Amino acid sequence: MDKWQYMGSVDVQHGGAYFAMETYDDGYVDCVRITDLDSACGFDGAVMVEHVIVLVGDAEQTKQAMRCCGLSEDELSQYDKESRRMAIVNALLYYGYYDPNNGRGHNSEIIQTEDDGPIEFDSWKAEKRVSSDDLEGYVKAKHLY
């Protein structure tokens, strides 16, 4: 198994996250989250890439996050161990159970993926341009260690 496992609906240009599951039993999982800022706030062609530490192991937080994602304990119990852990970590991430010192402004960057897309929008500013075709390779090369 690769160290980094991707979970997303389409591809990195549309968001998602990479998880390094090897530390799950230690109570945390390293994560590289990609947020499609075009869909999130209207910043055409922009994505935010950030490193966060997802906190795992708290049963009540896990239940809350899973309910929010519409997964019951019965459904979750039908998954194999790896899939169950991925579902839990993904739910915890998007529910907000991660280290607050690893959010926006900490280990993050904004990238413009369109050649003619704006560099600034509202309070957001892209630090560089990377074509949408090269985004996945860029994220892997720069952010997955």
Q: Are 88 and 5 in contact (CB under 8 A)?
A: no
End-to-end CA distance of the chain: 15
Q: What's the Rg (C-alpha) of the chain?
A: 16
Report the predicted TM-score, pTM, of the whole model to 2 decimal places: 0.88
What's the rounded Cα separation, in Å, for the pair 21 and 112? 29
Burial class (CB in 10 A: 0-12, 13-18, 19+), 111: buried
- Give the per-residue pLDDT at 102: 64
What's the rounded Cα separation, in Å, for the pair 88 and 86? 5
- Give the per-residue pLDDT at 29: 94
Domain ranges within the chain, ordered by starting residue: 4-134
What's the rounded Cα separation, in Å, for the pair 78 and 19? 21
Averaged pLDDT, groups of 10, the chain, 145 residues long: 83 93 94 94 95 92 90 89 93 88 68 96 96 93 87
- Give the per-residue pLDDT at 73: 85
What's the rounded Cα separation, in Å, for the pair 99 and 29? 10
Query: Which spans in 1-145 are helix H?
Result: 37-41, 59-68, 73-77, 81-95, 135-143
